[in-house]
Amino acid sequence: MEVKDSNGNILNNGDSVHLVKDLKVKGSSTVLKRGVKVKSIRLTDDPAEVECKIDGSMMVLKTEFLKKA
């Protein structure tokens, strides 16, 4: 299974990515700003989603909003 970012680059476990769009976090008033660097992503069973840790919280992000760093 290949997991690709918004530009079509293949993502792997442990890669770093940047957000390409401001994202609202469900269940919180927090907004993740465009350009934030996310380190050490983990792939999931769904090729459209990755897990990561941002500010100490585990989050699942859609790959369509990510760009490989």
**What pLDDT, on a 0 to 100 scale, did the predictor assign at position 11?**
97
**What pLDDT, on a 0 to 100 scale, did the predictor assign at position 69?**
92
- Look at the block and give the residue holding tokens 């919280």: 57
Dihedral over Cα of 51, 55, 25, 36: its sign: negative
Backbone angles phi, psi at 64, to 5 degrees: -70, -15
Of 3-7, 8-12, 19-23, 25-29, the poorest mean pLDDT is in 25-29
The 3 state secondary structure assigned to 4-34 is: ECCCCCEECCCCCEEECCCEECCCCCCEECC
**What pLDDT, on a 0 to 100 scale, did the predictor assign at position 1?**
85
Q: Which CATH number, 2.60.120.260, 2.30.30.40, 1.10.10.10, 3.30.420.10, labels domain 3-68?
A: 2.30.30.40
User: What pLDDT, in 10s, does the model give residues 17-68?
Assistant: 999 999 999 998 999 999 999 999 999 999 999 999 998 999 999 999 999 9
Burial class from Cβ neighbours inside 10 Å (0-12, 13-18, 19+) for residue 59 reads middle
52's tokens: 């990561």
